[in-house]
Structure 1
Amino acid sequence: MTDYSTKIAALEEALASGELTVESDGERVTYRSIADLKAAIDYFVSRNAPSVGSISRPASTVAIYDPR
């Protein structure tokens, strides 16, 4: 699986600054609108998400109430 963290960070930085041109991993892309920029973020975030079978769950603890 490819790690898109660098690309996502560059896109989010551009979104925060209002820029439509993003440079990441040696390539430069100019988006037509903020909506296109947001769509690119959504795309790369979904591609970067772990697959359903590899989701790790936190350990859980069971508490027992004993009113003695």
Structure 2
Amino acid sequence: MAFTQQDLIAVERAIASGTLTVEYNGKKVTFRQMNELLAARDTIKADLAAQNPSGRPRSSIAIVERF
């Protein structure tokens, strides 16, 4: 499964608030302990890094010419 940046944000918000329940894409997951949530965060970060092996942020540039 490929994780998204929004998945990481949801997990990090749960960690910051001290809650063990994370909701994303219409799904709700409740972890038993904070260390499970921290492990999920690390897994998501590793997956995102693998999706972007250059390590550089993804960006797009649009060039608009006016005539």
Q: TM-score, normalised by structure 2?
A: 0.71
Distance 2:32 2:4 in 1: 21
Q: Which runs of 5+ in 1 are unaligned?
A: 58-68
* Shift in alpha-carbon separation, 1:47–1:14, aligned structure 2, 3 A: same
Indicate the structure (1 or 2) with the bigger Cα radius of gyration: 1
Question: Which residue in the other structure is 2:24 paired with?
Answer: 24
Deviations 1:11-66 (A, max 9, x none): 000000000000011110000111000000000110011468x4167xxxxxxxxx
Identity, in percent, stands at 36
How many residues are treated as equivalent by the alignment? 56
The CA RMSD measured in Å over matched residues stands at 2.3
The 5-angstrom pairing of residues 1-68 of structure 1 reads 2-50=2-50, 54-55=53-54
